[in-house]
């Protein structure tokens, strides 16, 4: 998922740079490089993508270029191994929009971003039921195959595949319903 955001600011480059650092560092990002008028922040890893329910911990690289009165930013959020929900996409959109507001309005959006993250995590719980249904629906025939072939691992593979398939189906349906696809 890639997003770009360009906007004007009305303070000095030094003040803008400090505001940018404060915003991302307060959200748990690490300053990876600070070269002239470019700041690069990173967070997460591909491995963490597989096990985290926190979208802000996904493998991401944020590149900020500060020109005379313009900030050009590129958000590169790696969604490998994630079934990205509509709520998670909206979380990132709000996070990016709040970045702009924090620079322009000189306000701290940490608590707002944390609240949005909590709401997103809570929303993700609704996918547990479809995962159980999909997993069970696939595990039953997988169990029959495992019984007759003696390959016990078929059950786990079938259950995981069924769970993921049904969750992905539910996410796609939600996005279609909200015209997000």
Per-residue pLDDT of the chain (181 residues), as tens digits, is: 999 999 999 988 999 999 999 999 999 999 999 988 899 999 998 888 887 888 999 999 999 999 989 999 999 999 888 888 899 999 999 999 999 999 999 889 999 999 999 999 998 888 888 888 998 999 999 999 998 999 888 899 998 889 889 888 888 888 888 876 5
Query: Three-class SS of residue 61?
Result: strand
Domain boundaries, the chain: 2-108, 126-177
H helices present in the chain, as ranges: 13-26, 46-49, 86-105, 110-124, 128-149, 153-177
Please, which residues have CB within 8 angstroms of residue 127's CB and are 6 or more apart in sequence? 83, 85, 167, 170, 171
Contact 117, 52 (CB under 8 A): no
Q: What is the pLDDT of residue 112?
A: 95
**Residue-level pLDDT at 119:** 94
The answer regarding whether domain 2-108 maps to CATH 3.30.310.80 reads: yes
């Amino acid at each position: 998922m890639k997003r770009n955001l360009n906007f004007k600011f009305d303070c000095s480059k030094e003040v803008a740079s400090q505001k940018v650092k404060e915003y991302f560092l307060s959200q748990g990002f690490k300053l990876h490089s600070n070269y002239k008028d470019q700041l690069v922040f990173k967070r997460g890893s591909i491995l963490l993508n597989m096990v985290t329910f926190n979208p802000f911990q996904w493998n991401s690289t944020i590149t900020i270029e500060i020109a005379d009165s313009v900030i050009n930013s590129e958000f590169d959020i790696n969604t490998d191994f994630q079934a990205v929900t509509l709520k998670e996409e909206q979380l990132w959109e709000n996070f990016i929009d709040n970045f702009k507001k924090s620079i322009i309005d000189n306000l701290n959006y940490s608590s707002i971003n944390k609240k949005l993250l909590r709401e997103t995590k809570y929303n993700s719980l609704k996918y547990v039921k479809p995962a159980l249904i999909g997993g069970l629906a696939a595990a039953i025939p997988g169990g029959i195959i495992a019984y007759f072939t003696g390959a016990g691992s078929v059950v786990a593979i079938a259950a995981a595949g069924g769970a993921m398939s049904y969750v992905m189906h539910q996410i796609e349906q939600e996005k279609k319903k909200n015209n997000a696809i």
